[in-house]
Chain A
């Protein structure tokens, strides 16, 4: 079964601290993994995708097929990073996005 698991509902850190938002998945085949972010009063938007291997707003995520994980990391959190983060996956032959339950990141000054 296709599933995305985000074990933390809430993650609170102080500004400047490292951040790691966990994401594990189950999928029979080769999935595409994404991180979407929803800032307060804004629409959901793409943060990054594993295929791009890029760093966006200081965030990176590495796909670990052995551990079926796609954790989102940032070495130094900023207050503007406070938002709801969703991990999502889709199959190569489909556009269906399966979302995790989301993790709310709070960055305190």
Chain B
């Protein structure tokens, strides 16, 4: 059971380059999200999706695009990388408890450490 898988684990980009961070989950979770983790700022929500075909912005969406064509995959795209996007990126997935509406555990990927020079 792989859970949430992120690729790559490490990446160095030059300013202005574009790239896609991949996230895949095999738990059939409806909800997926992307966070960035920066020292002293905790985890901040970039974008999230409540199901295939539905995405929405989080707290810090600028400079990032997402799409959700399947339940399993939720890629994060950097269109033109900037040094301010140097961070560790985490993907997470979860599904609400059936019937109760109570939120269940979020499962996280191992992270992608991105450096923009």
Contacts and interface: CB of A to CB of B under 8 A. Distances in A.
Interface residues of A, number: 23
B61 interface: no
B48 A43 contact: no
Contacts of A44: 43, 90, 92, 108
Nearest to B50: A95
Nearest to B94: A95
Given A95-B50, A101-B41, A101-B42, A43 B109 contact: yes
A75 B101 CA distance: 33
Interface string B7-49: 0000000000000000000000001010100001111110010
A95 B31 CA distance: 7
A51 B102 contact: yes
A100 B106 contact: no
Contact of A43 (B41, B42, B58, B110): B110
Interface of A: 6, 9, 32, 36, 43-46, 49, 51, 86, 90, 92-102
